[in-house]
Amino acid sequence: MASSTHKAHQINDHDVFHARNLEETLQELQSIVKEHEDALDKLRAAPSAGLAGRTFPATASFDIMNAAYSELASTTPYLPFPDSVLPALIALRRTHQTVEETKAYLSTHTESVENTKKKLELAKADFSNQQALAHSLRGRIQSLQDGLETRMEMGPEDIARERINELKEKKTKYNKETSKLLKSLRGFIDNHLAAMLAAEELGGPVVGDMMDIDEQDLLAGFNSQGRVKTAKAKPEDDKRQRRIDEIWGPREGEERRGRHGEAHDRDEIAAAGQEMRDLAEQLLNLSQSEGDSSAAYVRLPRESAAARFLVRAKVAQFHPKDSSSLRLIDFGRELDD
């Protein structure tokens, strides 16, 4: 308890001492300001009282400045008394200014360091890529050199035999890929495209406008707006087969029987799919034939939905002057004007 009281007294004494020093410093500064103001008032009054009407030589201003400097040099500069807090205040202000300037410098320096680090990371990534590329190039050069040395040791017949074997392998590979693509094309035609082609031929929507089309929709027919008719009356088999033969033609190598004879076993979807497969086969055969590919046109007996679909899909194009001729677009060359 006594120790706490002693500490409290010390704190109070320190506060009183600090307050007294501040008051004395303030009084001292005020007295100095008062002295300078009195001196300034005297200087302002002197020219009007004693120097009015007098003329001064050209060196008067120099003499006045010399006298002023001499007086200031001989005068003892103002120094605060030993217990004054003015030096501490000045030092504190200077320290605070230095700290703020240091913080501002550090902030700019930090941003510069971050930018430098980013540039360094980019440079490291570029260097790594260059190293990987150089490694790949060295490997490629080495493999070419090895192959060149091997070929130099081989005779012309061995080189020709090796080349022929490579071409045979490529041909076998291409034939397999072609078979897969043709199989996928036939599956797409039979499972998806044939029904839409048949609907367009029968006056229905254009291929792609109506995705889910079944045989019942084709039997019902379509109205003038291309929509399925509501009354789905099934036509007679004989009339249906005549309609199929009129649009898609009779099946090749098959003669149509009478009403009481054997009926055709195909429907609209099968007929449209067969027409699409035949047209695609003709176009592919002409594109693979030798000669001028620009003259490889298929003669169309009529403008069918299959031909229009290929043109809209930008797979084929009509002859510029004959809409009954169709050919595949040569993707390796520019389109004809």
The range of the structural domain enclosing residue 221 comes to 171-255+265-328
User: Does 117 fall in a domain?
Assistant: no
**β-sheet bridge partners, residue 326:** 298, 318
Residue 26 tokens read as 């303030």
**β-sheet bridge partners, residue 325:** 299
| E strand or H helix at 299 | strand 298-299
Least confident of 28-42, 75-89, 237-251, 320-334: 237-251
User: Does 2 fall in a domain?
Assistant: no
Opening angle at CA 206, ends 205 and 211, nearest 5: 75
Give me the number of domains the chain comprises. 1
Distances (CA, A) of 117 to 109, 113, 209: 12, 6, 57
pTM of the model: 0.45
Mapped onto helix, strand or coil, the DSSP state of residue 197 is helix
Residue 248 tokens read as 């898609």
| E strand or H helix at 318 | strand 316-319
Rounded distance, CA 174 to CA 180, Å? 10
Q: How confident is the model at residue 83 (pLDDT cuts 50, 70, 90)?
A: confident
Average pLDDT over residues 23-35: 81
Instruction: Give the pLDDT of residue 40.
Output: 80
User: Does 65 fall in a domain?
Assistant: no
Rounded distance, CA 204 to CA 222, Å? 5
Neighbours of 245 (CB within 10 A): 15
In eight-state DSSP terms, residue 336 is P
Mapped onto helix, strand or coil, the DSSP state of residue 290 is coil
Residue 206 tokens read as 């254009």
Q: Which residue has the higher pLDDT, 146 or 181?
A: 181
User: Does 134 fall in a domain?
Assistant: no
User: Does 14 fall in a domain?
Assistant: no
Residue 8 tokens read as 């409290």
Rounded distance, CA 244 to CA 238, Å? 10
The backbone torsions φ and ψ at residue 290, rounded to the nearest 5 degrees and listed phi first, read -75, 160
Buried (b) or exposed (e) across 258-283, using 16+ Cβ within 10 A? Answer: eeeeeebebbbbbbbbbbbbebbebb
Opening angle at CA 251, ends 245 and 252, nearest 5: 135
Does the pLDDT at position 4 exceed 60?
Answer: no
Average pLDDT over residues 201-228: 70
User: Does 198 fall in a domain?
Assistant: yes
Give which of 190, 180, 196, 191 is closest to 312, Cα–Cα.
196
Does the pLDDT at position 2 exceed 60?
Answer: no
Average pLDDT over residues 5-27: 69
pLDDT tens track for 109-132: 887 888 889 999 999 999 999 999
Query: Of 194-208, 214-228, 236-250, 314-328, which has the strongest mean pLDDT?
Result: 314-328
User: Does 293 fall in a domain?
Assistant: yes
User: Does 239 fall in a domain?
Assistant: yes
Instruction: Give the pLDDT of residue 13.
Output: 67
Instruction: Give the pLDDT of residue 326.
Output: 87
pLDDT tens track for 229-278: 665 555 656 666 666 666 676 666 554 444 333 444 457 788 888 888 88
Does the pLDDT at position 20 exceed 70?
Answer: yes
Most distant CA pair in the chain: distance in Å? 152
